[in-house]
């Protein structure tokens, strides 16, 4: 009953994660009925954010430049690194306003059964770039895992602080620690 172009728009919206058929169609119709100015502003904002946003070279969170707002904030403790799977978890942890360290976004969790190995995550970047640099500067590093791989557990944060001896810090150690999360 709806014109093809509207159906196509609704279908494109539905392709986005978390969008159902009804809500996609409603959003498509709302967009079409919005004021031209509001519509243009929205399109501009989408285009703008897409062009200007990158991933932080240090932690993997969203950034407009080389570093994100968290990594470039000198009042944050750069030696306290909270490891999370996805960018969205950084946002929810930041809402608590109690954490003063920085983050590392893995993007994917190591899961050999699903063919996801250490090299498919950002774990090597964490070890080789960040931790080695901090270690050389003589910092005591604290890694906090905020990862919950088990779907049956709905609480996200199972905090496990891990203190590493800089002498023994290597990819295998941290990879093992991350794999150990399965038995948390
Ligand atoms: Zn960052």
Long-range contacts: 48-56, Cβ < 8 Å, 24+? 55/105
Alpha-carbon dihedral sign for residues 60, 64, 68, 69: negative
129 Cα to the center of ligand 1, angstroms = 13
**pLDDT score of 154:** 23
pLDDT beyond 90 at 49: yes
Q: Check residues 21 and 173 and name the one with the higher pLDDT.
A: 21
68 Cα to the center of ligand 1, angstroms = 4
Residue whose C-alpha is closest to residue 94's, from 59, 134, 127:
59
177 Cα to the center of ligand 1, angstroms = 22
6 Cα to the center of ligand 1, angstroms = 39
pLDDT digits (tens, 9 = 90+) for 54-92: 999 999 999 999 999 999 999 999 888 888 888 998 998
pLDDT digits (tens, 9 = 90+) for 8-46: 999 999 999 899 999 999 999 999 999 999 999 999 999
**pLDDT score of 172:** 59
61 Cα to the center of ligand 1, angstroms = 5
170 vs 62: CA distance, rounded Å:
27
84 vs 159: CA distance, rounded Å:
11
66 Cα to the center of ligand 1, angstroms = 8
5 Cα to the center of ligand 1, angstroms = 40
Read off the pLDDT band of 98 (50, 70, 90): confident
Residues, Cβ < 5 Å to ion ligand 1: 56, 58-59, 61, 68, 71
């Amino acid at each position: 009953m709806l014109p093809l172009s509207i159906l196509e728009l609704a279908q494109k919206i539905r392709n986005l994660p978390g969008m159902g058929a009804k809500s996609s169609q409603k959003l498509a119709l709302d967009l079409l009925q919005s004021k031209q100015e509001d519509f243009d502003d929205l399109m501009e904002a989408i285009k703008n954010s897409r062009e200007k946003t990158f991933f932080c070279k240090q932690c993997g969170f969203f950034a407009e430049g080389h570093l994100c707002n968290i990594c470039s904030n000198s009042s944050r403790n750069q030696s306290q690194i909270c490891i999370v799977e996805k960018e969205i978890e950084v946002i929810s942890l930041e809402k608590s306003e109690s954490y003063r360290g920085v983050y590392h976004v893995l993007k994917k969790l190591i899961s050999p059964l699903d063919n996801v190995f250490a090299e498919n995550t950002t774990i090597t970047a964490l070890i080789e770039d960040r931790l080695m640099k901090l270690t050389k500067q003589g910092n005591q590093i604290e890694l906090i895992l905020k990862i919950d791989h088990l779907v049956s557990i709905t609480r996200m944060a199972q905090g496990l602080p891990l203190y590493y001896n800089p002498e023994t810090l290597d990819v295998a150690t941290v990879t093992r620690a991350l794999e150990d999360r399965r038995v948390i």
